[in-house]
């Protein structure tokens, strides 16, 4: 409600929220922007980043912004779960690790389900895994035509999460959802838009300009009514989404401990190491 008068301030200057190691969080013009900031790792989500996103969403839900945006720094939007999370085994051993990881995953997804204001994804480049599945919980998804959408769960011996087993069939029908979630078909931005996962696609050259112009206009709508409108649209299935999240997380936990998945993940990491 305050920020229009200060829009001459240099972007990100005194508006940056301190204390994040993997994110850059700024507030301006009624918009809180959470930017994933591990560009050299294609913004892969480390354990620390999971925790920081949960905190940043909590803070954004309570600040005076009208809308909240998630985006990525650099060429990628987000390459999904950082698989080195998985190999970094703690004292409790692999079972403790699987339990902790999936509890964190579950809490992370829950913080998207519960987010009370319009939540907008600005997908600046390729999205992989949980960065894709979570899009079903966003209120608007804008994508650059450079973006791609890929969920190779089966290739890693894993099963779908982020409530995608529920949201994707609703959004794109069960057969297109299955080819993506079960068989790992990668979609272009245009395909993802035709299937309803993406709201609108923009040419990469004008992506940032067009998207932020539109979002700045949207953020000037009465913030109270935006929150209520989201609540009317989303509240009906909140309970359902939480139960889907719990169920999916519990199956992911079993998969983590399966030989099928352990072998597939090790294979993936050793291939990547050789590049």
Choice between 72 and 136, CB closer to its own copies:
136
- The DSSP code sequence of 8-53 is TSPTTSTTEES--SSEEEEEETTEEEEEE--GGGTT-B-HHHHHHH
Among 62, 89, 103, 155, interactor with its own copies by CB under 8 A: 155
Query: Which span sits near its own copies by CB under 8 A: 44-52, 103-111, 124-132, 260-268?
Result: 260-268
CA–CA dist 68, 37 (Å, integer): 17
Per CB under 8 A, the segment of 33-41, 45-53, 169-177, 202-210 that binds its own copies is 169-177
Q: Is 170 in the site for its own copies (CB under 8 A)?
A: yes
3 makes contact with its own copies (CB under 8 A): no
Q: Pick from 262, 95, 271, 121: which is nearest to 193 by CA?
A: 121
Q: Is 232 in the site for its own copies (CB under 8 A)?
A: yes
| φ and ψ of 181, to 5 deg | -80, -35
Report d(CA 133, CA 266) in Å as an integer: 23
- Count of residues touching its own copies (by CB under 8 A): 61
Distance CA 68, CA 121 (A): 9
225 binds its own copies (CB under 8 A): yes
Strand 67-72 relative to strand 31-36: parallel, antiparallel, unpaired? parallel
Does 158 bind its own copies (CB under 8 A)? Our answer is yes
Q: How many whole angstroms separate alpha carbon 115 and alpha carbon 90?
A: 31
Closer CB to its own copies, residue 24 or residue 171?
Answer: 171
Nearest distance from C-beta of residue 13 to its own copies, angstroms: 28
Binding range to its own copies, per CB under 8 A, among 27-35, 86-94, 106-114, 252-260? 252-260
What's the closest the beta carbon of residue 164 comes to its own copies, in angstroms? 9
Residue 159 in contact with its own copies, rule: CB under 8 A: yes
Q: Quote the tokens at residue 192.
A: 């993802």
Is 153 a residue that touches its own copies (CB under 8 A)?
Answer: yes
In the set 174, 209, 213, 238, which binds its own copies (CB under 8 A)? 174
Tokens 């994933």 correspond to: 36
Q: How far apart (Å, rounded) are the C-alpha atoms in residues 250 and 161? A: 10
Instruction: Out of 60, 98, 198, 241, point to the residue binding its own copies (CB under 8 A).
Output: 198
Which residue from 213, 222, 221, 265 is spatially nearest to 101, judged by alpha carbons? 265
| Residue 256 main-chain phi, psi, to 5 deg | -50, -40
Binder to its own copies among 128, 131, 181, 241 (CB under 8 A)?
A: 181
Residue 141 has a CB neighbour count (10 Å cut-off) of: 26
Q: Is 230 in the site for its own copies (CB under 8 A)?
A: yes
Q: Given the rule CB under 8 A, which residues bind its own copies?
A: 118, 135-136, 138-141, 153-155, 157-160, 165-179, 181-184, 195-200, 218, 221-222, 224-226, 228-230, 232-234, 236, 244, 247-248, 251, 255, 258, 260-261, 264
């Amino acid at each position: 409600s305050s920020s229009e008068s200060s829009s001459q301030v240099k972007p990100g200057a005194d508006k940056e929220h301190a204390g994040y190691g993997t994110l850059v969080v700024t507030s301006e013009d009624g918009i809180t922007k959470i930017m994933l900031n591990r560009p050299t790792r294609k913004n892969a989500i480390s354990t620390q980043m999971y925790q920081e996103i949960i905190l940043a969403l909590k803070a954004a839900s309570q600040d005076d912004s009208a809308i909240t945006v998630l985006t990525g720094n650099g060429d990628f939007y987000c390459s999904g779960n950082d698989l080195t999370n998985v190999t970094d085994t703690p004292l409790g051993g692999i079972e403790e690790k699987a339990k902790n990881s999936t509890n964190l995953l579950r809490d992370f997804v829950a913080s998207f389900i519960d987010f009370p204001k319009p939540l907008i994804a600005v997908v600046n480049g390729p999205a992989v895994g949980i960065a894709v599945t979570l899009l079903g919980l966003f209120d608007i998804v804008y994508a650059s035509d450079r973006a791609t959408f890929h969920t190779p769960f089966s290739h890693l011996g894993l099963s779908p999460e982020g409530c995608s087993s529920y949201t994707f069939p609703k959004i794109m029908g069960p057969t297109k959802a299955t080819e993506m979630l079960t068989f790992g078909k990668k979609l272009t931005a245009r395909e993802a838009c035709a299937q309803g996962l993406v709201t609108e696609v923009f040419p990469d050259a004008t992506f940032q300009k067009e998207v932020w112009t539109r979002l700045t206009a949207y953020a000037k709508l009465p913030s109270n009514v935006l929150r209520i409108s989201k609540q009317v649209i989303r509240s009906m299935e909140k309970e359902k989404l939480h139960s889907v999240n719990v169920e999916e997380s519990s199956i992911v936990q079993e998969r983590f401990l399966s030989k099928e998945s352990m072998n597939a993940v090790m294979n993936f990491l050793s291939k990547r190491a050789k590049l």
